[in-house]
A and B are shown apart, each in its own frame.
Chain A
Amino acid sequence: MKFDLVIAGVGGQGNILASQVVAKCAMDAGYNVVNTETKGAAQRGGSVLSHVRIADGEIFSPLVPAGQADVLLGFEPLEALRYIGLLSKKGTFIINTAPVPTILANMKVDEYPSTEQIVAIIKDKGLAGHFLNATRAAKELGNVLLTNVVMLGALTAVSNVLSPDVILKKLLTMVDEKFHADDSRAFAVGRGLIGKEG
């Protein structure tokens, strides 16, 4: 068994928490786990990529090699595009379509591609997966910070390496009790989004 997950997003979106939840569950299940993050300095808003590698045997590189990821979770569409090359031809992507514009794009010195363009480029690569608006779902639940939990819920609908109950339970142990109800709802909503996206 091997399961390689990459989570691409922007600083502040909570992808490190999401990757830790998955890593911890895998450890509890007795798997070998290796992970790492690539991110900029203390400042927010930079590109953040988390690698989680799970296997029942030895794992050498902390980085998921290009074309080897079983699942790419894109918390942000441009970041998903940046790292789409990591996804295996047989893998699955789940991409949140809500953009976080770059500073350079805000300044008009750079162009942020439209969601249609990003979707087209990714579809062109012949990869399979799901586009969904996790940010909107999180906002509807009352808190945009739930985006990562929605995405985590969605992950459990495409991969059965770890059971949804286990992942949710682990997540709840890692956040303050006052968020438990919201997180549980966001998780369920995320799971439900898979297959229903249009």
Chain B
Amino acid sequence: MQKEFMLGNEAIARAAAESGVKVVAGYPGTPATEIVDLCGGYPGVYAEWSTNEKHAFEVATAASLTNQRSMAVMKHNGTNAATDFLMHVNFTGIRAGMVLITADDPGGLSSQCEEDTRILVHNYAHLPMFDPSSVQEAYAMTKAAFELSEKTELVFALRPVMRINHAGGMVEYGAAAPQSRPAEFVIDRKRFVMSAVVEKESGGELRPKMRHRWLNAKQDELRALMEASPFNRAEKAPGEVGFIGCGIGYAFLKEAERIHGAKLPILKLSTLPLPEGKVLDFVSGLKKVVVFEEVEPVVEKLIKELCFEHKVVLEVLGRSGYLPKEGELSTNLVLTAVEAALAGKPYPATVQGQYVSARTRTQCSGCSHRGLLVALKEVVRKNGGVVTGDIGCHDAGTFEPMNLQATIYCMGSSIPMAYGIKKAGFDKPVYALIGDSTFFHNGLTGLASAIYNGGDITVVIAYNSTTAMTGFQPHPGSANNLNQPVTPIDPGAVAAAMGAKVFRCNPYNVEETARVIGEATAETGVKVVIAEALCYLKFGREGKISFTPRQVAVDEAVCNGCGLCVRTFGCPAISLADNKAAIEPSGCNGCGVCVSVCKRGAIK
């Protein structure tokens, strides 16, 4: 055993490599992203960025069916995209050990939504899950998940939260021992063909029902495993009020206990299904328990059910009403709840904090998206059009000061929503703004739907050759995959092949971009504008940029301080001081976009 400081994601990758993982597939998403890259660094491990989470899940499962250990990596809303597959692989089961990493982001610190994938993976798909309370435990659980998955023939899921993925701690670890096993694919259609086929052996029952029965029967085996699992344990202390910490909730609870200053009866629960015997044993004699979990009352409700079935009467408090129902837990929240529960009082109403000027997210200074956003804004200002948005760095165009996109939902929503607005009878132009990685993730099918159904929209694809927002992962439009150089798939060529009219522009050239979008708007049907310029932050470092740098400055004699360049544009390098615009040279990369923003021609 060696000991080293590791981030949660490093510990998970390390554990997977030590478990002999052979194939790792994922799609970037905070906070899980780094795991895939790190796995790729271990010898003998094949890692890839799939185009979306569903495909990552499928690739990893196929590897497991081929007798190789595998792992699929995604963030919570990525798991939503993979749900269709999830609801089948739970019925078929797998062969070699397979782990699904589904990272949650309580509080939505870096996400479009706040959700709890335990509901999806456990309550809905009935698969087992581990919920780590520390980086060390994330390591241990990943290793255990591979073993148990292989033993039970079920996908095991690890649900780390942001505070695990991105936290660092000392981790005791072992040696990477890649197992070499033959890549065999044994055909077993009865298991791996999910279809409404009549099963003779089961008296003519249909296969989906038979496999459902198989999955349900597995639950007893899982419960027995969790009962024996070291990840669940009780810490005895006197008192009639007990506290249950799930995953990171346990870490906050232990911290709160230390500040509180006296030992508390604590049950650590980190698995689903629950270790029912341990729970019943813990609650016996207690009058009340408070459950701390991220984010939904999953364990709380299971405990209520369990107590009801066993005719155990006690108060079970938690996320369903006692504690705040939304947002992240914290030590202070837990401490407040512990003290309130011990005093027999309700959780105190949260007082709204004092607002401290926010730092909103925006694009980097010199980002090509800003030119695109400002050009598109100019077009819709004139024609009253609406822009539906998508996920990526450009989504900050919805905030102040750009205020452009009118909707943002999930990956790929922009295109179907745009043509839906038209189908509803909206008579002004509608634009879908989507990035290249998102286009390949879940935009292709939306575009096909738009073309097939005779949509009349302009789709603008911001083609910057990387998945910038999550830290520059390559995608099918890039010149490399995770392992080697490749020929990029040009989204324009794809759109043209589907039958869209394709236009091209360089978003650093605002006039050209506005003109091209205008030309596209004038055509009928589905038009696609490819706004192509490399991500400045990534490729600028490599000496590749898509503009000719120029020195810009504000001509104070011409500037009348109207503030347009600040209030409607928002390049971080520009500010207003003493009623004149000023450009901070150290923050400016000379992209020249702002020159088109000042209508007085004061920026030169």
**Number of interface residues, chain B, beta carbon within 8 A:** 55
CA of A114 to CA of B102 in the docked complex: distance in angstroms? 44
A108/B572 in contact, CB under 8 A? no
A46/B361 in contact, CB under 8 A? yes
Pick the most buried of B360, B362, B469, B472: most chain A CB atoms within 10 A of its CB.
B360
A41/B30 in contact, CB under 8 A? yes
CA of A100 to CA of B471 in the docked complex: distance in angstroms? 24
Contacts of B167 in A (CB 8 A): 34-36, 62
**B residues 318-374 with Cβ under 8 Å of A?**
330-332, 335, 356-365
Contacts of A103 in B (CB 8 A): 359-360, 362, 400-401, 570, 572
Least CB separation from A48: chain B residue = B359
The answer, yes or no, to whether A181 is at the interface (CB within 8 Å) is no
Known interface pairs A27-B5, A41-B469, A61-B252; A104-B361 also in contact (CB < 8 Å): no
**B residues 440-458 with Cβ under 8 Å of A?**
none
Contacts of B133 in A (CB 8 A): 60
The answer, yes or no, to whether A106 is at the interface (CB within 8 Å) is yes
B396/A43 in contact, CB under 8 A? yes
Known interface pairs A61-B252, A102-B357, A107-B567; A23-B168 also in contact (CB < 8 Å): yes
Contact of B110 among A10, A41, A101 (CB under 8 A): A41
The answer, yes or no, to whether A32 is at the interface (CB within 8 Å) is yes
Contacts of B135 in A (CB 8 A): 34, 62
The answer, yes or no, to whether A131 is at the interface (CB within 8 Å) is no
B332/A60 in contact, CB under 8 A? no
CA of A104 to CA of B109 in the docked complex: distance in angstroms? 20
The answer, yes or no, to whether B141 is at the interface (CB within 8 Å) is no
Q: Interface majority SS on A: helix, strand, loop or mixed?
A: loop
The answer, yes or no, to whether A82 is at the interface (CB within 8 Å) is yes
A61/B255 in contact, CB under 8 A? yes
The answer, yes or no, to whether B563 is at the interface (CB within 8 Å) is yes
CB distance from B352 to the nearest CB of A (A): 14
CA of A41 to CA of B563 in the docked complex: distance in angstroms? 27
Contact of B357 among A36, A42, A44, A111 (CB under 8 A): A111
CB distance from A105 to the nearest CB of B (A): 6
The answer, yes or no, to whether B566 is at the interface (CB within 8 Å) is yes
**Interface size grouping (class) on chain A:** 35 or more
CA of A45 to CA of B572 in the docked complex: distance in angstroms? 8
Known interface pairs A42-B537, A107-B400, A107-B401; A37-B359 also in contact (CB < 8 Å): no
CA of A107 to CA of B402 in the docked complex: distance in angstroms? 11
A112/B357 in contact, CB under 8 A? yes
The answer, yes or no, to whether B170 is at the interface (CB within 8 Å) is yes
CA of A112 to CA of B248 in the docked complex: distance in angstroms? 35
Least CB separation from A53: chain B residue = B169
Contacts of A104 in B (CB 8 A): 357-358, 360, 400
B5/A78 in contact, CB under 8 A? no
CA of A37 to CA of B255 in the docked complex: distance in angstroms? 18
Least CB separation from A45: chain B residue = B572
Contact of A82 among B168, B258, B356, B361 (CB under 8 A): B356
The answer, yes or no, to whether B575 is at the interface (CB within 8 Å) is yes
CB distance from A13 to the nearest CB of B (A): 12
Contacts of A110 in B (CB 8 A): 357-358
B469/A42 in contact, CB under 8 A? yes
B358/A59 in contact, CB under 8 A? no
Known interface pairs A42-B537, A104-B400, A106-B576; A32-B170 also in contact (CB < 8 Å): yes
CA of A65 to CA of B260 in the docked complex: distance in angstroms? 13
Contacts of A113 in B (CB 8 A): 357
CA of A156 to CA of B474 in the docked complex: distance in angstroms? 42
Contacts of A60 in B (CB 8 A): 133-134, 250-252, 254-255, 258
CA of A81 to CA of B259 in the docked complex: distance in angstroms? 24
Contact of A44 among B250, B254, B258, B572 (CB under 8 A): B572
The answer, yes or no, to whether B166 is at the interface (CB within 8 Å) is yes
Least CB separation from B469: chain A residue = A41
The answer, yes or no, to whether B301 is at the interface (CB within 8 Å) is no
The answer, yes or no, to whether A66 is at the interface (CB within 8 Å) is yes
Per-position 1/0 for B560-582, Cβ under 8 A of A? 00010011001010111000000
Interface CB pairs A-B, < 8 A, 11: A34-B169, A34-B170, A36-B163, A36-B167, A40-B361, A61-B251, A62-B135, A62-B169, A78-B357, A103-B400, A107-B570
Given contacts A65-B332, A107-B570, A144-B586, list 5 more A-B pairs with CB under 8 A.
A10-B359, A42-B393, A45-B362, A60-B251, A107-B563
Residues of B within 8 A of A (CB): 5, 30, 109-110, 133-135, 163, 166-170, 248, 250-252, 254-256, 258-259, 330-332, 335, 356-365, 393, 396, 400-401, 468-472, 537, 563, 566-567, 570, 572, 574-576, 586
Residues of A within 8 A of B (CB): 10, 23-24, 27, 32-38, 40-47, 58-63, 65-68, 78, 81-82, 101-113, 144
Give me the 5 closest cross-chain CB pairs, A-B, nearest first: A62-B167, A65-B331, A60-B254, A36-B167, A60-B251
